[in-house]
Every structure is written in structure tokens, then in C-alpha cells.
Amino acid sequence: MTRSLLSKTPTRKHFLATLALLAAGLAAPAFAQGDYPNKPVKLVVPFAPGGNTDLIARMLAQGLAEQLGQPVIVENLAGANGSIGASRVAGAPNDGYTLLFGTAGTQAINQSLYRNLGEKNLADYEYVALVTSIPNVLVVNEGRTPVRTVAEFVAAERKRGAGLSYGSPGTGSTVHLSGELFKTATKLDLLHVPYKGSAPALTDLMGGQIDFIFENVTPALPFVQSGKLRALAVTSAERLPALPNVPTMKESGYPDFVTATWNGVLAPKGTAPSILKRLQDATLKVAGSADFKTRVTALGGEVRLMEAAAFRDFTRNEYQHWGAIIKNAGVTVQ
């Protein structure tokens, strides 16, 4: 009987082996997090391929892959001014492997624009870093509207009266809302004509079907540089290197007219601080490089770097800014 009981009693060797197994199990999650990333990272672009957000995301992803030592795959999930892709990221696992390349639309406009938007709270995400700002440019077809300044444009349209139309790549875009801000500032009678993207809107502007667009600089720049469209003003706070002879709206007599879309990296709420720090450092290093700045400038954009805390505060201010424009314009989407 004694021998039988002793044979079932754990020995010191068995006890130490059990402790080692337990320790290994407890250490596994910490090791996995500390080893981040150990598989490909997905960067969701909530718009179709080919736009400025998509182009800049792919430039950033290339650099992030080098910094993180893992592939960074860009996935386009378009729809509802970016809300579909943003919602997908908000509901993704908070392990750092699904990120959002957010914009003014997804983080500061849609919350006021859409009545039934799920992500109403700016705290639905962790903020990693802001990287770029893409202002708009007021462009006209000189054959249809032979003016060279904003003042001439407004004066000509006052004489013309009703019927002035402007295009946009879609309701709720910064392009559309810049037009609404212009309408409020000038008291002109303007008709908004939404398109499915910038390309058809610019095509109709060149064809004389609409009068003007406050287009993002990136898609409008080639047409301005080729002389097919005339740029009257940019909506940035300062003149752009890509259009050094084009004044700002502030210089043109509208001191509060500063609008732009922007791009930043976000993660699902609850992502570990250590992962967020790794992503922030890598993002800022890539976006701060001379090569990245050169490529963004060529697109008509500006590199604008902000760490997580500043990016979060900036987004809150942008939410108030665009919310006021939307309220004044009376724009809502079901």
C-alpha cells in the first residue's frame, strides 16, 4: 500500500517540469506582443484605388514594411465616404494587424454627415500618427469662365445671377463642403452636382457642363499644369510648392477659408500601447523621410507630422470645424 501511494506522488523532477510548462504558457502572450509584428499587417484604405488617399497609403506601406520587417498590405474597402472601411477597422481585432488610413471624411466629417453612422464617437479608435494634408484648389474652365482671380470670379457670377454649378466627387467630401463654405461666404446661388469620383467631375468641368470645382490638388494638378484648367486659389494656409503662383483663399479675401483632407494611421480601440508606439515611431520615420516628402509634394500635398496625442486633439478640432460647415449648409445623408 505504501509503495502504491508513493508511486503516485509527484517527484521533485516532475514538479519542476510542471512549473516550467506553466511559465512557458504564461510568457507566450507577452512574447507574442513583444515580438510584434510577426505576420503581415493590413492597412485599410476606405476609398477606391487611384485617389490621393490610396496613392499616399501605398507610399507609406512600402516604407512601413521596411521599418516593421513584415509586408504591409493595402486593402481598399470603399463606400459611404469612407464609412464602410472605417467601420470594418473599428470592429477588427485590436492586435495591431488591421489598421486604418483615415481621412478628414472618416474621422471628422461622417460623424456629422450621416444620421445612422455607427462610429459616432471619436474614441472608437486609437490614434497612431498624422502624416499628410491635401488641400483643395478652386479651378475653372477659362473658356467658359474667363477670370483670373477669385474676386473677378465672384463679381462675374454676381452679374450672371442664378445657375452657377459646382461639381464634387461625392456628397460629404471636402470638395463638396468647400463648395458649401464658398456658397456661405459669397452668398452666391450655387448648385451642387455630385459625381462618382473626381475624374468624371473634372471631365465635365473641362467640357463646360459645370462652372467650377474645389477639387483636391492631387487629381486637379495635371490639368492645371497642362493649361486645361485655371487655378484661382488654393485652400491651404500657405501657398503650395506645386502651385507657387496660385494665391490662397486667405490671400484672396477669405481669411477663414482653410480646408483640406488629410491622412493618418489609426488602429482599433484597445490596441496595446507598446504596439501603438512601435507603429507611431515607424510611421513618423517613414513620413519624415526626404523621399516621402518629395513624392507627396509632387502630388500637391504637404507632409504634416503629428504624434498620437496631437493627432487626437487635431481630429477633435476638425470634427468641430467640419460639423459647423455641415450644419450651416444643412447637409445630411441617411
User: Of 270, 329, 287, which is closest to residue 130 (Cα–Cα)?
Assistant: 287
Handedness of CA 279, 281, 282, 287 (dihedral sign): positive
Reported CATH class of domain 41-134+261-329:
alpha beta
**Predicted pLDDT of residue 119:** 59
* Residue of higher predicted confidence among 20 and 294: 294
Q: 86-97 pLDDT, tens per residue?
A: 999 999 999 999
Q: Is the predicted pLDDT of residue 199 greater than 50, yes or no? A: yes
* Residue of higher predicted confidence among 15 and 223: 223
Reported CATH class of domain 135-234:
alpha beta
41-134+261-329 and 135-234 share one fold: yes
**Predicted pLDDT of residue 11:** 46
Q: Is the predicted pLDDT of residue 312 greater than 60, yes or no? A: yes
**Percent above pLDDT 90 for the chain:** 73
**Mean pLDDT, the chain, as a whole number?**
88
How is the chain split into domains, by residue range?
A: 41-134+261-329, 135-234
Distance of CA 94 to the CA centre of its chain: 20
**Confidence grade of residue 29 (pLDDT, cut at 50, 70, 90):** very low
Give the number of other CB atoms < 10 A from CB of residue 193. Answer: 18
Q: Is the predicted pLDDT of residue 131 greater than 70, yes or no? A: yes
Mean pLDDT of 244-271: 96
Angle (deg, nearest 10), helices 52-68 and 290-298:
170
Beta strand spans in 95-221 (E) = 98-103, 125-140, 164-168, 190-194, 212-216
